[in-house]
Structure 1
């Protein structure tokens, strides 16, 4: 069908049809989880008496903003936590994570990452690399990490020793710019059990970006203390214009709120400036939108594996986040892939992606992202640093038809650029 509207080589169209056919079983699993999570979200809206009056928003200090308070309760119920802090003035997932880290850590504390090196933009926050002012390192907070095993899996055997005496055990659920497998909720639960036994007082904090609503449980339901994410990823449903969230233990949420605003003020202030309707609506749509993104990821894995590329994970592997990595192997391949994805965007399809020095990254990054909301990676996007292994990390897809089309156009772009031979 796509060839009725776009110029697609018959060989690509044929392989796309074959790839979609072998994805049927995976699609059925995705739809089952989406139905479960959609009902979970709906019940939270109903049980917290969400009303049209909650969409009005406030200005100034935002005292007694009922919509803000109800949205916190809805998210906490969805995430399985005591409390939550969901705000439009978190400018990114990194900002929300930073707020949480500075909110609960104190000088002299030790933070241990149990999933190796954190995502690029968090490294200046911690003080692993230079480039920022006021890092955790500058405030006397020590950082250590337990590297992943050579196969990319967690090093369970060494975790107990790693967290002894630590204030925080930190986990990054998603793969970031690596080819390791993302963490499942079951793996997070296993890690939480190890940490609890070795150091009962340690805080377990999870960067949940890209993982919300992929499984039927969230990390807080697996024994962690705080989960953090971005609203221009999964939980914003492609509707929230900006924002992020922190969910977890009530005492820790209060500490984070005091970091976001001011000590003694916490959650009691913060005007919502007309953003609540989009945040409520985005959260409501999120399970369905995440399902579309997952189908896009599964389909891309099936198609590009058939075209001879290495993909992570495979199309039929269990999914723990919405990200699909495709190893292109060369700068030309990565650039061509991103150009094709851009051509399938509903916004700025005419733009040609170019690698540039993106803030917070140590390599040039190329990004295809024709989105209604700038940088929203729940909308179809593909990006990667211009360095080995020259892989594209594909994520998003507000709808399955648009996601599928973007993936097929990426394959067509590789063919037209000469990276892919016409015989596949």
Structure 2
């Protein structure tokens, strides 16, 4: 019988780590159960039937499955409307359409959480055609204070009458800061609402869906957006993204996705509806598996002497785990191990490369069934000090655990860690 090449010493390290973190899994399971109930209630309310899984071609008019899925997302996220489409090529695309739903030439976007994620900054301040900068839309940002939103500074900046969109990034991206809880996002929303009642509040919800029992739109956000190949796709969605929020904003975003006057009326699904529905059904459970993998990773890497964030016992608000390696070689070895534990392309050795949309070379380990799916076990990092790696995903906890142990093995064999 063949098993993975993991030494007895690393296997024992894994056993010791798992014994320490097992009590933490109960809360994750509790949240998963509540969110599963929420998804089931939305499916039942909207009378999901097998006929909705049939795909459309061409224009995609009257796609019952597509239009019902919009309603289900709106119910789950507590919003007036939603737009769920395989036409979104990634999360950045969905976020871009959501941002343009609220601003026009002369308006200003205010980021309340420092700079947006690297690829989204191209949408806002990039010099390429179609960016907000090219349309004469301004941009300002409020830096985080001690890793958290600076509420007084946000209020001061938001009072400017030309600020029409306040942007909040829930997850840390490639920044070294806290991921925001829905409670913290709600505090920012309340402060902004008091300072500028007319400003639209938008949250980048990537990596955060189903991690808590509530979502940002239930604490004051007007609109949220994310990727289907992260949490809400449950590991089955082959592509796509979603936007959920106020009805008028969703309509405006749909015009950005397709064309003015067409919006969400068009967009064939080409037989993918079943995967989107089934992926959403599995999403709370799959997200829980990713969270357990992240906690296990944190404990193992901590026991090896590396700085991790969040700490294993800390409450989590997204699926991302960071490990600060302090040098490029152990970081690369970690990514090699994650890749070796993948079900797809496990034989590939990841190397840093100039990835489009990023300022530094990026190393990425992602042997996934769906290319680039962050809900599947993956790890990536910009090759810059302090050489922090961002690990996320794990369709099942046992497979995620195996990938982490392989990563620990590679690091150990290279002479790093304790």
Pick the TM interval, shorter chain: over 0.9
Match status 1:307 vs 2:308: no
Separation in structure 2 between the aligned mates of residue 133 and residue 310 of structure 1, nearest angstrom: 41
Separation in structure 2 between the aligned mates of residue 7 and residue 231 of structure 1, nearest angstrom: 33
Separation in structure 2 between the aligned mates of residue 378 and residue 7 of structure 1, nearest angstrom: 25
Which residue is equivalent to 1:296? 293
Q: 1:66 aligns with which of 54, 64, 67?
A: 64
Q: Deviations over 1:210-258 (max 9, x none)?
A: 0000000000001110010000000000000000000000111011111
Structure 1 stretches of at least 4 aligned residues deviating more than 3 Å after TM superposition: none
Separation in structure 2 between the aligned mates of residue 190 and residue 60 of structure 1, nearest angstrom: 45
**Aligned residues of 2:302 and 2:308 also touching (Cα < 8 A):** yes
Match status 1:230 vs 2:206: no
Where do 1:373-388 residues align within 5 Å? 373-388=370-385
Q: 2:17 aligns with which of 19, 34, 45?
A: 19
Match status 1:348 vs 2:345: yes
Which residue is equivalent to 2:148? 153
Separation in structure 2 between the aligned mates of residue 344 and residue 203 of structure 1, nearest angstrom: 43
Where do 1:208-223 residues align within 5 Å? 208-223=205-220
Separation in structure 1 between the aligned mates of residue 193 and residue 238 of structure 2, nearest angstrom: 37
Where do 1:238-257 residues align within 5 Å? 238-257=235-254
Match status 1:97 vs 2:92: no
Runs of 5+ unmatched residues, structure 2: none
TM-score, reference length from structure 1: 0.96
| Cα distance, 1:9 vs structure 2 | 2.5
| Cα distance, 1:11 vs structure 2 | 2.5
Q: 2:42 aligns with which of 38, 41, 44?
A: 44
Q: 1:316 aligns with which of 313, 316, 333?
A: 313
Separation in structure 2 between the aligned mates of residue 254 and residue 178 of structure 1, nearest angstrom: 32
Which residue is equivalent to 2:398? 401
| Cα distance, 1:163 vs structure 2 | 0.6
Separation in structure 2 between the aligned mates of residue 9 and residue 261 of structure 1, nearest angstrom: 53
Which residue is equivalent to 1:414? 411
**Aligned residues of 2:102 and 2:164 also touching (Cα < 8 A):** no
| Cα distance, 1:157 vs structure 2 | 2.0
**Aligned residues of 1:160 and 1:195 also touching (Cα < 8 A):** yes
Separation in structure 2 between the aligned mates of residue 65 and residue 59 of structure 1, nearest angstrom: 9
Which residue is equivalent to 1:144? 140
Q: Deviations over 1:313-362 (max 9, x none)?
A: 10111100000000111110110000000110011111100110100001
Which residue is equivalent to 2:117? 119
Q: 2:284 aligns with which of 287, 292, 298?
A: 287
| Cα distance, 1:85 vs structure 2 | 0.1
Separation in structure 2 between the aligned mates of residue 78 and residue 88 of structure 1, nearest angstrom: 19
Which residue is equivalent to 2:157? 162
How many residues matched?
Answer: 416
What is the RMSD of the two structures over their aligned residues, measured on CA atoms? 1.1
| Cα distance, 1:25 vs structure 2 | 2.2
Separation in structure 1 between the aligned mates of residue 248 and residue 134 of structure 2, nearest angstrom: 25
Separation in structure 1 between the aligned mates of residue 11 and residue 412 of structure 2, nearest angstrom: 12
Which residue is equivalent to 1:8? 6
**Aligned residues of 1:332 and 1:419 also touching (Cα < 8 A):** no
Separation in structure 2 between the aligned mates of residue 193 and residue 56 of structure 1, nearest angstrom: 42
| Cα distance, 1:189 vs structure 2 | 0.5
Which residue is equivalent to 1:188? 185
**Aligned residues of 1:179 and 1:312 also touching (Cα < 8 A):** no
**Aligned residues of 1:163 and 1:198 also touching (Cα < 8 A):** yes
